[in-house]
């Protein structure tokens, strides 16, 4: 063979000086599983602090050279062994909670970052008490003093009463927003997402879906009246709005339409959905904040016979606001509901 070819030639790998390969016989551990894993558990526990180890136990009786079966063995710490396993009822409850949270997340997907609440519960309670105090003075104290001075709202014409309602509602709304602005002045500039108004987005679809629930709100109104009927001993009066509708005074009806469809939705949504709902998310989940704000919204109307429909309506408007993060959406839905009720009274 030439020299070039001999460069690629290699002698056989076997050598007479090397002993032949010998395969050691397979030894199967016959100790009990507990004796085999205890030293391993103690060493891992001391060196690494490991609490759970999964290894395999070789089954001698069912094994063969061609088919080896292994059984997983769990090694738990003493603390884990002392913990009782959850029963069927507890696991079912956890599953229901998980399903409920999943449904809520589907209904109320979070668009954007959660609200950053720079104030505490003291500020929330203080602001609500200020607004409630002003409402009490405007709705009870001032009319009482006016009546004591000889002025009677009932002596006004339908148009005069409608104008009086419009002026008082505007005063209450502007004062409430001014109180809110004053209480939050020390926290300016506010974090992003607070009191957001926007014409863009898909909030129109949420408002449309909310409008489809209006018949159910009417159903809850009838249920509420059946559960808590009007006491026979108390006189049932006719509201000023109903009086103007009966009189068919177009100007009075137009003024009342502005009151119920513009003034009330704007300032109520600013307070209950714009401020209260996001503020509660500092202390509770979003769905719980929607529920609590809806209950407060219903209680603020001081009408036990309309409590159930107002709570449900507050839930719907809270859900629409939480989905869109847009106060304009809940204001439009609130306005449409009041307009729906006003139109129903006109029939």
pLDDT tens figures, 240-292 = 666 666 667 788 888 888 988 998 899 899 999 999 999 999 999 998 999 99
- Give the start-to-end residue ranges of the domains of the chain: 28-60+67-79, 112-346
Question: Is the pLDDT score of 150 beyond 80?
Answer: no
Mean pLDDT of 39-66: 49
Q: For 294-317, give one letter per residue: b (16+ CB within 10 A) or e.
A: bebbbebeeeeebbbbbbbbbbbb
Question: Is the pLDDT score of 131 beyond 70?
Answer: yes
Question: Is the pLDDT score of 47 beyond 80?
Answer: no
Among 118-122, 171-175, 203-207, 314-318, where is mean pLDDT lowest?
171-175
Share the mean pLDDT of the chain.
75
Residue 317 to residue 327: CA distance in whole angstroms: 10
Angle 209-320-179 (CA atoms, 0-180°, nearest 5)? 140
Mean pLDDT of 212-236: 76
**Pick the residue with more confidence: 23 or 308?**
308
Most confident of 41-45, 47-51, 139-143, 157-161: 157-161
> At 70, is the pLDDT very low, low, confident or very high (cuts 50, 70, 90)?
very low
Mean pLDDT of 57-71: 46
**Pick the residue with more confidence: 3 or 193?**
193
The per-residue pLDDT for 65 is 44
The per-residue pLDDT for 157 is 83
Question: Is the pLDDT score of 214 beyond 80?
Answer: yes
Most confident of 18-32, 135-149, 159-173: 159-173
Most confident of 59-68, 174-183, 276-285, 296-305: 276-285
Percent of the chain at pLDDT > 90 equals 21
The per-residue pLDDT for 6 is 47
> At 63, is the pLDDT very low, low, confident or very high (cuts 50, 70, 90)?
very low
> At 332, is the pLDDT very low, low, confident or very high (cuts 50, 70, 90)?
very high
The per-residue pLDDT for 16 is 47
Q: What is the pLDDT of residues 171-192, one digit of tens each?
A: 888 888 888 888 888 998 989 8
Mean pLDDT of 122-148: 80
Among 28-42, 91-105, 121-135, where is mean pLDDT lowest?
28-42
Question: Is the pLDDT score of 57 beyond 60?
Answer: no
Among 139-148, 220-229, 297-306, where is mean pLDDT lowest?
139-148
């Amino acid at each position: 063979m030439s020299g070039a070819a001999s460069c690629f030639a290699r002698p056989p790998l076997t050598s007479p000086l090397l002993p032949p390969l010998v395969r050691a016989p397979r030894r199967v551990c016959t100790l009990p599983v507990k004796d085999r894993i205890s030293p391993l558990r103690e060493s891992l526990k001391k060196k690494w602090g490991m609490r759970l180890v999964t290894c395999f136990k070789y089954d001698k009786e069912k094994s063969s050279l061609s088919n080896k079966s292994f059984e997983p063995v769990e090694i738990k710490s003493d603390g884990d062994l002392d913990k009782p396993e959850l029963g069927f009822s507890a696991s079912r409850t956890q599953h229901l909670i998980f399903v409920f949270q999943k449904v809520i997340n589907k209904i109320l997907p979070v668009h954007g970052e959660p609200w950053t609440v720079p104030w505490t519960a003291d500020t929330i309670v203080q602001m609500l008490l200020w607004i409630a105090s002003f409402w009490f003075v405007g709705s009870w104290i001032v009319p009482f003093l006016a009546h004591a001075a000889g002025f009677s709202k009932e002596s006004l014409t339908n148009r005069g009463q409608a104008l009086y309602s419009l002026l008082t509602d505007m005063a209450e709304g502007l004062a409430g927003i001014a109180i809110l602005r004053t209480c939050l002045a020390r926290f300016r500039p506010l974090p992003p997402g607070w009191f957001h108004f926007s014409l863009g987005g898909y909030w129109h679809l949420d408002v449309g879906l909310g409008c489809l629930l209006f018949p159910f709100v009417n159903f809850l109104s009838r249920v509420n009246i059946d559960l808590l009927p009007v006491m026979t001993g108390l006189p049932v009066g006719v509201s000023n709005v109903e009086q103007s509708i009966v009189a068919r005074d177009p100007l009075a009806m137009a003024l009342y339409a502005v009151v119920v469809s513009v003034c009330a939705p704007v300032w109520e949504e600013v307070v209950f959905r714009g401020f209260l709902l996001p503020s509660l998310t500092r202390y509770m989940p979003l769905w719980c904040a929607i529920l609590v704000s809806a209950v407060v919204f219903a209680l603020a109307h001081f009408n036990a016979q309309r409590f159930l429909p107002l709570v449900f309506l507050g839930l719907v408007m809270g859900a629409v606001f939480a989905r869109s993060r847009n106060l304009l959406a809940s204001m439009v839905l609130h306005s449409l509901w009041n307009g729906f009720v006003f139109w129903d009274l006109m029939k």
